[in-house]
Amino acid sequence: MIYDPLLKAAKEHQKEYKYLLERGNYNRMLALLPDLHEEAFAKIDCLECANCCKNHSPRFKQPDIKRIAKSLRIKEGDLVANYLKLDEEGDYVARQKPCPFLADDNTCNIYDDRPSDCRRYPYTDEDVLLKRVPLTLKNSLVCPITSTVMERLLELEGNDKRRNK
């Protein structure tokens, strides 16, 4: 895949990412996230990747189930029975990987009605990126946008440390 080098860098930098997320300047990093998010999305085309849809499942919360079922013109129970399962945490998730709503061209068949987790993924413009370290580390191995944002945070934090010496 075109983004393999980014994901390889993320694999090599997991310890640095963890250290940065746990000990970096939270407020400064939070202030940087919107610009880094936009910068990463300008460089990376999700439709060339779709790793999130191929490797993860969002949580399908009740409002998501209701909205998607209505959009598909099926009963909520049929949506759950045909496409979803309960995970170990009691959340509804996709029964299969890749996501059953992922089309062959990496588009989403329910894009306008997709779950809120999908709308927010990869959380690179939210404090979730900084607060949920295990999730961010996992996402950086799958999502080139997350790995790009993390690489830029490392770069910027490293520059700060050099200036302060």
**Position 128 pLDDT exceeds 80:** yes
- HSE-CB of 137 using CA atoms within 13 angstroms: 15
Specify the pTM: 0.89
Among residues 56, 57, 80, which one has the least CA distance to residue 68? Answer: 80
- Answer yes or no: are the C-beta atoms of 17 and 10 closer than 8 Å: yes
Q: pLDDT tens for residues 132-153?
A: 999 999 999 999 999 999 999 9
In the numeric block, which tokens belong to residue 105?
């061209």
The predicted pLDDT at position 157 comes to: 84
How large is the average pLDDT for residues 73-100? Answer: 97
The Cα–Cα gap between 1 and 62 comes to 35
Model confidence at 159, pLDDT cuts 50, 70, 90, reads low
Give per-residue pLDDT as tens, 45-83. 999 999 999 999 999 999 999 999 999 999 999 999 999
Quick one: pLDDT at residue 165?
40
Whether the per-residue pLDDT at 164 is higher than 50: the answer is no
SS3 for the chain, per residue?
CCCHHHHHHHHHCHHHHHHHHHHCCHHHHHHHHHHHHHHHHHHCCHHHHCHHHHHCCCCCCHHHHHHHHHHHCCCHHHHHHHHEEECCCCCEEECCCCCCCECCCCCECCHHHCCHHHHHCCCCCCCHHHHCHHHHHHHHCCCHHHHHHHHHHHHHHHHHHHHCC
The proportion of the chain whose per-residue pLDDT surpasses 90, expressed as a percent, equals 93
pLDDT at 93: 97
